[in-house]
Structure 1
């Protein structure tokens, strides 16, 4: 009995080994890429996506190494302060949260929430 086997990606008839699932490397790669995209709601994918977005936003607003920005401006762009990679505590006791090399400190000034943005410096390793 000869069962017709089809490529999982493009549905072309397969030739060769009985356990073959794809007609070529392109179809195999494409199939797995689409599979990952469908599962993009996974916890790790969500965290990674938000960290990348936070880093991009912080970088765009902190060109000089230090800046102050109203919180709503960052959050309107998609920034979420709950996603960060590490923290650093300065001598005053302020805790800066970092997204890779870009840090932020939440402050309330004149009843408005602001973020003080900084970049990681070598002296912070000590």
Structure 2
């Protein structure tokens, strides 16, 4: 008495074990990939993916340790300023948001939105 008569992926007749579901490892992998692709993206994965994208973009545009970039350039690349890991407040009261070791501060110069990009430094402890 066989549980499955055909491969769940390709539909071929199954030969062998009674509880066999797939004809080979490739069909098993393909079926699981398709099944996973149909499920909605999990919240944790969405947040993690955006943080990794933000980090990559900030690293790309901040090679020297400090830079100023127009916000529309970063946003065009997929940067989302609502996703960050922590913040740091300087003595002037400016709050830099950080994505791991790369920080950014939103500013406006001559009605143009920009981000000041910095790298985390040892003096930026949370004990300020």
Q: State the alpha-carbon separation in 2 of the partners of residues 82 and 57 from structure 1.
A: 14
Aligned match of 1:118: 118
Residue 48 of structure 2 corresponds to residue 48 of structure 1: yes
* 1:124 alignment partner, SS class: coil
Aligned match of 1:86: 86
TM-score by length of 1: 0.79
C-alpha RMSD of matched pairs (Å)? 2.4
Q: State the alpha-carbon separation in 1 of the partners of residues 105 and 30 from structure 2.
A: 42
Given that residues 4 and 19 in structure 2 are in contact (C-alpha distance below 8 angstroms), is that contact kept between their aligned partners in structure 1? Answer: no
Point out where structure 2 has 5 or more consecutive residues left out of the alignment.
Answer: none
Q: State the alpha-carbon separation in 2 of the partners of residues 3 and 19 from structure 1.
A: 6
TM-score by length of 2: 0.78
Aligned match of 1:15: 15
Q: Return structure 1 stretches of 4+ with deviation > 6 angstroms.
A: none
Cα deviations across residues 61-105 of structure 1 (Å, max 9, x unaligned)?
111111001111111222111111222222222111112221111
Could you tell me how far 1:56 is from its partner in structure 2? 1.7
Given that residues 4 and 13 in structure 1 are in contact (C-alpha distance below 8 angstroms), is that contact kept between their aligned partners in structure 2? Answer: no
Aligned match of 2:97: 97
- Closer/same/farther in 2, CA of residues 31 and 120 from structure 1, 3 Å limit: farther
- Closer/same/farther in 2, CA of residues 75 and 29 from structure 1, 3 Å limit: same
Point out where structure 1 has 5 or more consecutive residues left out of the alignment.
Answer: none
Q: State the alpha-carbon separation in 2 of the partners of residues 81 and 26 from structure 1.
A: 41
Given that residues 40 and 46 in structure 1 are in contact (C-alpha distance below 8 angstroms), is that contact kept between their aligned partners in structure 2? Answer: no
